[in-house]
Amino acid sequence: MKLIILLFASLFLSCSTQRVAVTPARTITKGVEVVTMDYTVTDSKGNTLPTKIFLFDVRLSERVRIVATTVGDSDSSICSTEEQMTLKAPLSEQLEAMQAKRQNIKVLGGVNADFFHIRTSQMPCGVVYRNGVCIKGGYDNQTTVFALLTDGTARCMSSSEYEALDKTLIAEAVSGRQMLLNDGVAQSSSTRLEPRTAVGVTRDGKRVFILVADGRRKEYSNGLSYADMAVIFKRLGAYDAINLDGGGSSSFSVEVATGDFAPINRPSDRSGERPVPNGIAIVEMK
C-alpha cells in the first residue's frame, strides 16, 4: 500500500490545483486493504473543492474473490423484464444476507453496482451473472461490464468487448455505463462533479481497485468527474475502468460487527443508504 501513497504523492505534489492526503491503509485480510483519501478537485468555475474518496485495493487469488450481490442473496430478486418488479435493499443488508447464507465465505465489504430503472421496475440496466449463471442478459445501449472470470481474473469491458467474450468464461458480473479507461486511455473529459462508484482492473486482471467518492456536500465532499476518475485509476495502475451507479446510490460498506455491515462513506441521500438492486462484494474463501 505504500506504493499507492507514493503514486498519489508524485502526481499531486506536481499539480498546483490538486492535492491529496492518503490515510494509512487498513488491512482487512491479506490481499485486501481499505484506503481513504482527502482529495481536492476543481469545478467548472475554477474553484478548488474537497472530495472524500474511499478505496478497496483487492489482489485476487484462490482465497480472495469478488462476487455479485442481490437482495436476500437470491437470484430471483432480479427480474429480467419491465413487467416484473425487481427487489431493492441497501448494500449493507445485501452483504449481511450473503454472509448469513454462505457459510463457506467471509464477506469483507462491498459497494453498489448497476444503474437501475428507478422510476419503474427497479430492474438493473445491464447484465448480471452469479455463480456462472446469467440471471439477467439484456442491457441498455450505454452498458459496460465488470466481470470475474472462471480463471480468477477480472475484466472491465465495453459492450462490444462483452459481446465478443465467450460467456462461459464469466463467473460473476455486474454492469455500469461510462468507460473511464480503455487499454490505459481515458475515455471521457467530462468535468461534472458527482458522488461516484467505479471499478478499475490492472492489465493482467489480478488486481482490482473499487472506488467510492462522496459528493453533494460542499464543505465536506464534492464528488469526482469522469476525467478525475480516469486520472486516479490510471495512477493506481488500472488498465481498464468503468463507472458504476453513483449519486445517492454510492455506498462503501464494511463489517462493523460480526455479520453486521454499514457504509463508512456518507451517502448523499438525506434518508441515508439508498436501496439498490445489486452490488459487488469482496469475499474471503474459508
For 5-56, the DSSP string reads HHHHHHHHTT-TT--EEEPPPEEEETTEEEEEEEEEEE-TTS-EEEEEEEEE
Confidence of residue 74 (pLDDT cuts 50, 70, 90): very high
How far is residue 101's CA from residue 174's CA, in Å, rounded to a whole number? 20
Buried b (16+ CB within 10 A) or exposed e, 79-116: bbeeeeebbbbbbbbbbbbbbeeeeebbbbbbbbbbbb
pTM attached to this predicted model: 0.94
CA distances from 142 to 104, 177, 198, 242, 243 (A): 36, 5, 15, 11, 11
User: Tens digit of pLDDT for each residue in 123-132?
Assistant: 999 999 999 9
**151: Cβ contacts below 8 Å, ≥ 6 apart:** 169
Work out the average pLDDT over 195-210: 98
Domain ranges of the chain: 2-285
